[in-house]
Structure 1
Amino acid sequence: MMDQEYGFVGKKKPSNEPQYYSKLLDSIIQSSYDGIYVADAYGIGWTVNDAYTRITGVRKEELINRDLRSVVNEGIISESVTFKVLKEKKSVTIIQKVKDTEILATGSPVWDDRGAITHVVTNIRDLSDLNFLMEELNTSRAFTEKILAEVDELRQVENTKWLLNGVIAQSKETMKAVSVSQKVAKVDSTVILTGESGVGKEVFANIIHLGSHRADKPHIKVNCGAIPAQLLESELFGYEKGSFTGAEKTGKAGLFEKANEGTIFLDEVGDIPLDLQVKLLRVLQEFEVVRVGGYQPKPIDVRVVAATNRNLEEQVQKGEFREDLFYRLNIVPIHIPSLRERTADIAPLMYYFLNNVNKKYELNKRFQAGVISALESYQWPGNIREMKNVIERVAVTTDHDEIDIYDFPDQFIDNFDPKDQRKKTSYKNKGLKEAIMDVEQEMIKSKIQQGKTTRKAADDLGISQSSLVKKMKKYQLSVDAYIHE
């Protein structure tokens, strides 16, 4: 397996195994994007990779086979993390100055079978890169806040339904996300879409692509969580011929290459393994890819939109996601609200999905009045995806055209009237107008009892504040405590 992975397919492994593995180890060290320096237990430089020289400007000959005490005395480095590790016998991280470059240095001990330290491996990262990314992130956040402020100034039209590339919205929360997506579509900034599973992140990725100057170019979508980790690298970056057993004879272009001049959508980016994250970071920074088994970088021109239902900041704290990759992806974050955070959108979505089912199967189904109230009270853990599936299931399995809440699964009935059939019976004994008035009064009571102001309650109900106040007076509900809010 190791022979296949490191390009020795079809070749005879050298008979001198120590030399073979020494070359393999050196190849691994040199392939690291971060700087690596290794010293022995006496503080003598053993090896250093090219990335260390790229970051610090220090040549290999200034470190290899040299005592670190001399290196510190000559002012090449400010202090030695290696000697701190040898003294404390554990991993140590310090901020170190190498010539004129400030770096984050982490030293880790290498132990032998007797419990003695034989070497110290130091990993370095340029702090100026991280500081630049943080500044870029802060600038983008200020830009996003400016956009949101502009959205807040837009005139809200009563009972607005917005259908845009699959987004149906009348809630402020969703309209803000749509507006930000339209704004950033015009530039090439990297965007990350966050939100729970099923909220429709792919739909927002479509808005960004279709609103960009790349709209007529490829739009490649990748579910990073659905591709096995051992195949993800070759899928993303491609491979050269003979790279591994089963590889196509001519090699294969990766998805980044296929997305050239267009947009690549990296869904579930939080599932990418740590060892592959550094290669993705290099692609995002250098805009070039190196195929598996290859050496020649290939330049690419790609707009990156990522998405995740994970909290990447928590993953960074746990060491499960690279901090520098997080900053690189998080240039313009757009949060897609869950369905329970945008209850004003539930009714239009319900009718949208029901109309689609009616057209698809030539049905004539419709909702009873009380269904909307019950579905607005439901928490929707599966979000829009769950709603679409539930409505289709109910529509195709009921024998009658008028769908009431009792045609839904038990969890929806519990939200409407827990373990009680009285409402269903009472509606059957009333006319349509009277039943609608009951539902209207119940919905108004529900919103007001949640402690909401008349303005907020009116927004949630999809009516004006003045209309709500009139209805409250009509149903003899207390208005004084809310009318001025």
Structure 2
Amino acid sequence: MTIEYTDENISMSENTKLDRVNKSDIDTILVSIFQSSYDGIYVADSDGVGVMVNSAYSRITGVESQELLGKNMMTVVKEGLVSESVTIKVLEEKTAQTIIQTVRGKELLVTGNPVFDLNGKITYVVTNVRDISDLNYMKTELLHSKRLTEQYIYEIEELKKRELIHMHLDGIIGQSQEIMKVFHLARKVAKVNSTVLILGESGVGKEVIVNYLHQESDRANKPLIKVNCGAIPKHLLESELFGYEKGAFTGADSQGKPGLFEQADGGTIFLDEIGDMPIDLQVKLLRVLQEFEIMRVGGRKSFKIDVRVISATHMNLEEMVDKNDFRRDLYYRLNIVPIKVPPLRERIADIVPLAFYFLNKTNKKNKLNKRFHHEIIHFFEEYRWPGNIRELENLIERLVVTTDNEEIEMQDLPASMLQGKPRKKTETGKLKEIIANVERKLIKEQMEKSKTTRQAAKELGISQSALVKKMQKLGF
């Protein structure tokens, strides 16, 4: 291997000139750097033939240099020494590539970078290898769901292409298709003044949608007033919403008091748990929505307000309407644009990113460095989360501050969670799981005997490429 040295491809300090250093010294320096790298490095020429391998590569992979040098990577793949070649991918795509590669049963994070000559042709491909076999939860996420937690996003360039929605509003992160649809609708609705009804179970993050609607609207610089209709005593709710004049009732402020609708003038008012609003007060709210006028308790004249109304509930308002527990005309007025927020058990792709977000948030808050055992990640995805995001956040904070060890394990979970029913699986799902477990057991036993994927594939009666794909799918 011959390398030409020029001022353009070698960086030195100001006190060092190329003509003061002879070529043999530079060779010695570069080879020393190459061999002292902690990461494994493999270099191939423009034909994909191995020309250099450092000792770290052999340490990490267990492959000796003589097994690679002088061999084309296509041949190395066919022999089953590696599952696939990043060198070939780089030569085909002419850009840097990152893959997960299996070498003798060990999984590696492999990045290949092309080296171009002055004419723009690839002269060498430099491959950097890292052992990630110990990072079980990262490996699982990468192979099964193509999700990556915040700690490892910088590691995988390919995930940058993925369309993710990161809504950092009250600690909510979403990337599932289900929540993307919700935010896509909310983005469109935010720019208009239509009344919005947000539906969903308790703890799914309905208030996050409200924050988003307000922040993306033209009213973002105006007040956002939030009212929990179920938390205010019924006899006080009217005066809280619409305000009162002086002397309106015993104990009233002598100067009177503006209501929450007045305080939200020009902005947005959020009526949470709208299903708890008394029937008699629903009539007055309907008039506000129709005329956008309010009258204080004890007042004699009404006045105009400019406010956008968003309401939310976990109740089934249609059933309440049928039972005459909620006014039909008010329901239609509130339900101009309904936004249904799915429960966390229907947003499986969001569970792990949320879990790591809350873990990092709690670690930072308490100056700790707790981490998850990989079994916890699997459990989180199978658990039904009846309390949704709120339950997940509270659980993680409890685990971080109460566990003794740095790693949070299954035994640290509350007994009630471990005894709970997992997410229901279809019969087809059960059958697939049984088959996968059998395949996983057979492959593991054969790999321990054969050592190479090529030999194992031969013993199992399938092709080497089919075996590698199965191993990746099954999480080896």
With the shorter chain as reference, the TM-score category is 0.5 to 0.7
CA distance in 1, matches of 2:434, 2:197: 33
Q: How far 1:412 sits from its partner (Å)?
A: 3.2
SS state at 1:168 partner: coil
The structure 2 residue matched to 1:474, chosen from 441, 457, 471, is: 471
Given that 1:374 and 1:412 are in contact with CA atoms closer than 8 Å, whether structure 2 keeps it comes out as no
CA distance in 2, matches of 1:240, 1:230: 16
Q: Deviations over 1:171-208 (max 9, x none)?
A: 11111111111110000000010000011111110000
SS state at 2:270 partner: strand
Assess, with a 3 A threshold, how the Cα gap between structure 1 residues 345 and 191 changes in structure 2: closer, same or farther. same
Given that 2:243 and 2:297 are in contact with CA atoms closer than 8 Å, whether structure 1 keeps it comes out as yes
Assess, with a 3 A threshold, how the Cα gap between structure 1 residues 164 and 181 changes in structure 2: closer, same or farther. farther
Q: How far 1:405 sits from its partner (Å)?
A: 1.4
SS state at 1:264 partner: strand
Is structure 2 residue 190 aligned with structure 1 residue 185?
yes
Question: Partner of 2:256 in structure 1?
Answer: 251
Question: Partner of 2:364 in structure 1?
Answer: 359
Written as runs of structure 1 = structure 2, the 5 A alignment for 1:401-420 is 401-414=406-419
SS state at 2:312 partner: strand
The structure 1 residue matched to 2:231, chosen from 226, 231, 241, is: 226
* TM-score of the superposed pair, with normalisation by structure 2: 0.56
Q: How far 1:162 sits from its partner (Å)?
A: 2.1
Assess, with a 3 A threshold, how the Cα gap between structure 1 residues 475 and 175 changes in structure 2: closer, same or farther. closer
Is structure 2 residue 380 aligned with structure 1 residue 375?
yes
Question: Partner of 1:393 in structure 2?
Answer: 398
Q: How far 1:260 sits from its partner (Å)?
A: 0.2
Assess, with a 3 A threshold, how the Cα gap between structure 1 residues 273 and 447 changes in structure 2: closer, same or farther. farther
CA distance in 2, matches of 1:318, 1:366: 49
Assess, with a 3 A threshold, how the Cα gap between structure 1 residues 214 and 194 changes in structure 2: closer, same or farther. same
Q: Deviations over 1:63-102 (max 9, x none)?
A: xxxxxxxxxxxxxxxxxxxxxxxxxxxxxxxxxxxxxxxx
Q: Deviations over 1:250-306 (max 9, x none)?
A: 111100011000000000001000000000000000000011111200110000010
Q: How far 1:409 sits from its partner (Å)?
A: 0.6
Assess, with a 3 A threshold, how the Cα gap between structure 1 residues 343 and 476 changes in structure 2: closer, same or farther. closer
Assess, with a 3 A threshold, how the Cα gap between structure 1 residues 394 and 239 changes in structure 2: closer, same or farther. same
Equivalenced residue count is: 280
Q: How far 1:157 sits from its partner (Å)?
A: 5.4
Question: Partner of 1:318 in structure 2?
Answer: 323
The structure 1 residue matched to 2:348, chosen from 332, 340, 343, is: 343
CA distance in 1, matches of 2:207, 2:225: 11
Question: Partner of 2:207 in structure 1?
Answer: 202
CA distance in 1, matches of 2:312, 2:226: 11
CA distance in 2, matches of 1:182, 1:160: 15
Is structure 2 residue 167 aligned with structure 1 residue 163?
yes
* TM-score of the superposed pair, with normalisation by structure 1: 0.55
Q: How far 1:242 sits from its partner (Å)?
A: 0.8
Question: Partner of 1:173 in structure 2?
Answer: 178
Q: How far 1:223 sits from its partner (Å)?
A: 0.3
Is structure 2 residue 217 aligned with structure 1 residue 212?
yes
Stretches of structure 2 lacking an aligned partner (at least 5 in a row): 1-158, 423-428, 436-465
CA distance in 1, matches of 2:209, 2:468: 37
Given that 1:234 and 1:254 are in contact with CA atoms closer than 8 Å, whether structure 2 keeps it comes out as yes
Given that 1:181 and 1:208 are in contact with CA atoms closer than 8 Å, whether structure 2 keeps it comes out as yes
Question: Partner of 1:76 in structure 2?
Answer: none
CA distance in 2, matches of 1:171, 1:474: 26
CA distance in 2, matches of 1:472, 1:380: 32
CA distance in 1, matches of 2:344, 2:187: 21
Question: Partner of 2:111 in structure 1?
Answer: none
Stretches of structure 1 lacking an aligned partner (at least 5 in a row): 1-154, 418-444, 452-468, 478-485
Assess, with a 3 A threshold, how the Cα gap between structure 1 residues 237 and 169 changes in structure 2: closer, same or farther. same
Given that 2:175 and 2:349 are in contact with CA atoms closer than 8 Å, whether structure 1 keeps it comes out as yes
Q: Deviations over 1:190-236 (max 9, x none)?
A: 00100000111111100000000000001100000000000000000
Q: How far 1:414 sits from its partner (Å)?
A: 3.9
SS state at 1:226 partner: coil
Q: How far 1:170 sits from its partner (Å)?
A: 1.3
For structure 1, which segment, 328-337 or 174-183, has the greater mean C-alpha deviation from structure 2 after superposition?
Answer: 174-183
Given that 1:192 and 1:331 are in contact with CA atoms closer than 8 Å, whether structure 2 keeps it comes out as yes
Read off the aligned partner of 2:169 and give its amino acid letter.
Answer: N
For structure 1, which segment, 331-340 or 166-175, has the greater mean C-alpha deviation from structure 2 after superposition?
Answer: 166-175
Question: Partner of 2:123 in structure 1?
Answer: none
CA distance in 2, matches of 1:252, 1:447: 65
CA distance in 2, matches of 1:232, 1:276: 8
SS state at 2:207 partner: helix
CA distance in 1, matches of 2:305, 2:434: 53
Question: Partner of 1:283 in structure 2?
Answer: 288
Read off the aligned partner of 1:474 and give its amino acid letter.
Answer: M
Given that 2:245 and 2:299 are in contact with CA atoms closer than 8 Å, whether structure 1 keeps it comes out as yes
Read off the aligned partner of 1:165 and give its amino acid letter.
Answer: L
Root mean square deviation, CA, Å:
2.7
